[in-house]
Amino acid sequence: DQQVKQNSPSLSVQEGRISILNCDYTNSMFDYFLWYKKYPAEGPTFLISISSIKDKNEDGRFTVFLNKSAKHLSLHIVPSQPGDSAVYFCAASTFNDYKLSFGAGTTVTVRA
């Protein structure tokens, strides 16, 4: 069963504008959330994470927001750059668990 869902398979955004990627989860035991970025022919690269004790975490152009009551998180990229064109995966785990559950990914294309 898919416990982490990314319902938008693709997103196209103009360079310099904001990219917003969404992720929903069903397992209320999840308490740690991560975003990974993946280029073709490479493995996923860790981008940013957030624990359930926070509702926001920021790192440069990337901000992750967590809404626990809605079981929803989002990744904001501001401003979007051409190098951000990639597949973005949302992942979740429980604090003492070690395996990550991934969504199916969202392909972001940044247009010049």
Which residues form the interface with other proteins (CB under 8 A)?
A: 4, 32, 34, 36, 41-46, 49, 89, 91, 93, 95, 98-105
Backbone angles phi, psi at 49, to 5 degrees: -140, 170
**Residue type for 86, please?**
A
Block residue for tokens 């989002």: 74
Kindly state the smallest distance separating residue 7's Cβ from other proteins, in Å.
13
Per the CB < 8 A criterion, the answer to whether 52 and 109 are in contact is no
Calpha distance 95→99 (Å, rounded):
10
Kindly state the smallest distance separating residue 90's Cβ from other proteins, in Å.
8
Which residue, 34 or 108, has its beta carbon nearer to other proteins? 34
Which residue, 80 or 103, has its beta carbon nearer to other proteins? 103
Which residue, 84 or 88, has its beta carbon nearer to other proteins? 88
Kindly state the smallest distance separating residue 84's Cβ from other proteins, in Å.
19
Calpha distance 95→84 (Å, rounded):
29
Kindly state the smallest distance separating residue 109's Cβ from other proteins, in Å.
16
Calpha distance 42→51 (Å, rounded):
26
Which residue, 2 or 14, has its beta carbon nearer to other proteins? 2
